[in-house]
């Protein structure tokens, strides 16, 4: 006859050990703080998801992933209506394709730069 109390005890002990192991912090892992500009957006007809650390984004229509090509820099150009951090991303499918974004000084608004008229920007709308 199978001792169900013994099996239940072993299962409970195993679950407790697994939970404790999951709670233990791993020094090799870094916790990524989500940037306010991360999340789901619609920008000039493109639906996208911006990664929590803004190091990459994905076009939700095509599935193409863009990664940060250059470190972000402060862009206070007089030609731009929007002042903030400028981000340059390159496509993983075709590295010749680049997209440019600006996160305004509040850090909560995202703008897409036009591919041809570089100083023209399109405000992105937050998707829920």
85 inside domain: yes
Q: How many domains does the chain have?
A: 1
What would the pLDDT profile of 15-46 be if each residue is shown by its tens digit? Answer: 555 655 555 556 666 776 888 999 999 999 99
Q: For 46, which DSSP code?
A: E
Q: What pLDDT score does 23 carry? A: 54
108 inside domain: yes
Strand order in the sheet with 65-75: 121-123, 110-113, 98-104, 84-91, 65-75, 56-59, 46-50, 39-43, 125-126
Contacts of 113 (CB under 8 A, 6+ apart): 99, 100, 101, 102, 119, 120, 121, 122
Domain hosting 87: range is: 39-126
14 inside domain: no
CA atoms in the 13 A half-sphere facing the CB of 107: 6
Long-range contacts of 28-33 (CB under 8 A, 24+ apart): none
17 inside domain: no
Indicate the pTM of the whole model.
Answer: 0.72
59 inside domain: yes
- Tokens 């470190």 sit at which residue? 71
- Of the chain, the end-to-end C-alpha distance in Å amounts to 55
Percent of residues, the chain, with pLDDT higher than 90: 61
Residues 27, 29, 31, 35: what is their CA dihedral angle, to the nearest 10 degrees? 140
10 inside domain: no
52 inside domain: yes
26 inside domain: no
Q: What pLDDT score does 67 carry? A: 97
Residue 56, pLDDT above cutoff 80? yes
Neighbours of 124 (CB within 10 A): 22
């Amino acid at each position: 006859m199978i001792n169900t109390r013994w099996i239940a005890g072993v299962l409970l002990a195993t679950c407790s050990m697994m939970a404790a192991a999951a709670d233990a912090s791993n020094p090799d892992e870094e916790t990524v703080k989500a940037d306010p500009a991360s999340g789901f957006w619609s920008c000039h007809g493109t639906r996208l998801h911006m990664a929590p650390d803004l190091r990459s984004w994905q076009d939700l229509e095509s599935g193409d992933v863009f990664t940060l090509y250059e470190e972000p820099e402060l862009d206070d150009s007089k030609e731009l209506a929007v002042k903030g951090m400028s981000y340059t991303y390159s496509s993983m499918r075709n590295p010749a394709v680049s997209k440019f974004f600006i996160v305004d000084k509040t850090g909560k608004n995202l703008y897409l730069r036009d591919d041809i008229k570089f100083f023209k920007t399109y405000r992105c709308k937050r998707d829920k």
